[in-house]
């Protein structure tokens, strides 16, 4: 199984990184996608991925919460790094905490969507309280986008269907699926075919039940897989096979 979204370059892992990676391998995690969030993380993500070659895969981009007044300069500095990664990310819109840089976020996201088209690199998209705005930007490039992941999907059936209109995109499903009050175990099987889902942890955040509240780590993606198998009424092996194939398709086998 593959953890498509894990901030393994974070401070939270600096003391026991090798043990975290060893536990991931032992749990059956065969690859980990590591997203950047800003210019500095182009270095930390690349260094991490070079330490675990053919296991950790970099994605580079400017996270919406890191978009400030200087976004154009930052993007200009990030762009030369893009081809070192397997995707552009994580990018998107986040109006949950603050709308201070709303206009800048919209412009920075659209610029990175254009990069995805230009370089034919998939997008790793973060979206919070901004689905309408995100969809309206993506629609402008719909036919030319190579694909990507709507990371940390937690929405309802209508929101899921709206995202699935983007043919080559999949939903990233993580720990929220396992939370007691989550509606995802009903929503997903009702409207999302398994071939439109990839697994993720978003570690160190969003630890799944029964690890909720702890530091999350890639090995815990197994709990997400198990819950997904229950929800779809299929074997864990089937979820693993299909979601692995989805990753290969979206990321072009990289
Ligand atoms: Zn993330």
Beta bridge partners of 88: 60, 123
Rounded to the nearest angstrom, the distance between the alpha carbon of 6 and the centre of ligand 1 is 7
Whether 51 and 40 have beta carbons less than 8 Å apart is answered as no
Report the C-alpha gap between 57 and 116 in whole angstroms.
Answer: 17
Q: What would the two tokens of residue 229 be? A: 């198998």
Rounded to the nearest angstrom, the distance between the alpha carbon of 140 and the centre of ligand 1 is 25
Rounded to the nearest angstrom, the distance between the alpha carbon of 67 and the centre of ligand 1 is 15
Beta bridge partners of 124: 89, 149
Rounded to the nearest angstrom, the distance between the alpha carbon of 205 and the centre of ligand 1 is 8
Rounded to the nearest angstrom, the distance between the alpha carbon of 121 and the centre of ligand 1 is 18
Rounded to the nearest angstrom, the distance between the alpha carbon of 45 and the centre of ligand 1 is 12
Rounded to the nearest angstrom, the distance between the alpha carbon of 150 and the centre of ligand 1 is 11
Rounded to the nearest angstrom, the distance between the alpha carbon of 129 and the centre of ligand 1 is 15
Residue 145 Cα distances to 27, 96, 238, angstroms:
34, 26, 28
| Minimum mean pLDDT range among 131-140, 183-192, 245-254 | 245-254
Whether 64 and 91 have beta carbons less than 8 Å apart is answered as yes
Per residue in 50-74, pLDDT (tens digit) is 999 999 999 999 999 999 999 999 9
Rounded to the nearest angstrom, the distance between the alpha carbon of 199 and the centre of ligand 1 is 13
> Is pLDDT above 80 for 45?
yes
Measured between alpha carbons, how far apart are the two ends of the chain, in Å? Answer: 15
Per residue in 85-121, pLDDT (tens digit) is 999 999 999 999 889 999 999 999 999 999 999 999 9
Rounded to the nearest angstrom, the distance between the alpha carbon of 143 and the centre of ligand 1 is 26
Rounded to the nearest angstrom, the distance between the alpha carbon of 186 and the centre of ligand 1 is 24
Three-state secondary structure call for residue 57? strand
Rounded to the nearest angstrom, the distance between the alpha carbon of 173 and the centre of ligand 1 is 12
Based on the number of CB atoms within 10 Å of its own CB, is 26 exposed (0-12), middle (13-18) or buried (19 or more)?
exposed
> Is pLDDT above 70 for 39?
yes
| Predicted structure pTM score | 0.96
Rounded to the nearest angstrom, the distance between the alpha carbon of 172 and the centre of ligand 1 is 11
Residue 227 Cα distances to 43, 56, 159, angstroms:
35, 24, 21
Rounded to the nearest angstrom, the distance between the alpha carbon of 240 and the centre of ligand 1 is 22
In this predicted structure, what is the pLDDT of residue 53? 97
> Quick one: what percent of the chain has pLDDT higher than 90?
98
Give the pLDDT band of residue 201 (cuts 50, 70, 90).
very high
Rounded to the nearest angstrom, the distance between the alpha carbon of 29 and the centre of ligand 1 is 18
Average pLDDT over residues 6-18: 97
Rounded to the nearest angstrom, the distance between the alpha carbon of 215 and the centre of ligand 1 is 14
Rounded to the nearest angstrom, the distance between the alpha carbon of 209 and the centre of ligand 1 is 19
């Amino acid at each position: 199984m593959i953890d498509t979204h894990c901030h393994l370059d974070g401070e939270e892992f600096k003391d026991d990184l090798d043990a975290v990676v060893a536990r991931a391998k032992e749990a059956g995690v065969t690859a980990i996608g590591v997203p950047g969030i800003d210019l500095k993380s182009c270095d930390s993500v690349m260094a991490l991925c070079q330490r675990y070659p053919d296991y950790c895969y970099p994605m580079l981009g400017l996270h919406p919460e890191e978009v400030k007044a200087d976004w154009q300069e930052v993007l200009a500095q990030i762009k030369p790094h893009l081809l070192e990664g397997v995707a552009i990310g994580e990018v998107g819109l986040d109006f949950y905490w603050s709308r201070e840089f709303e206009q800048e976020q919209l412009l920075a996201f659209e610029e990175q969507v254009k990069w995805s088209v230009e370089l034919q690199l998939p997008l790793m998209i973060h979206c919070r309280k901004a689905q309408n705005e995100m969809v309206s930007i993506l629609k402008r490039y719909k036919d030319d986008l190579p694909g990507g992941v709507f990371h940390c999907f937690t929405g309802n059936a209508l929101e899921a269907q709206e995202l699935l209109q983007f043919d080559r995109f999949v939903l990233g499903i993580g720990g929220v699926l396992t939370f007691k009050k989550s509606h995802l175990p009903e929503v997903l099987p009702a409207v999302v075919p398994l071939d439109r889902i990839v697994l993720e942890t978003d570690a160190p955040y969003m630890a799944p039940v029964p690890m909720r509240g702890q530091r999350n780590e890639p090995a815990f993606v197994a709990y997400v897989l198990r819950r997904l198998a229950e929800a779809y009424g299929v074997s864990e092996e089937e979820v693993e096979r299909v979601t692995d194939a989805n990753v290969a398709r979206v990321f072009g086998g990289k």
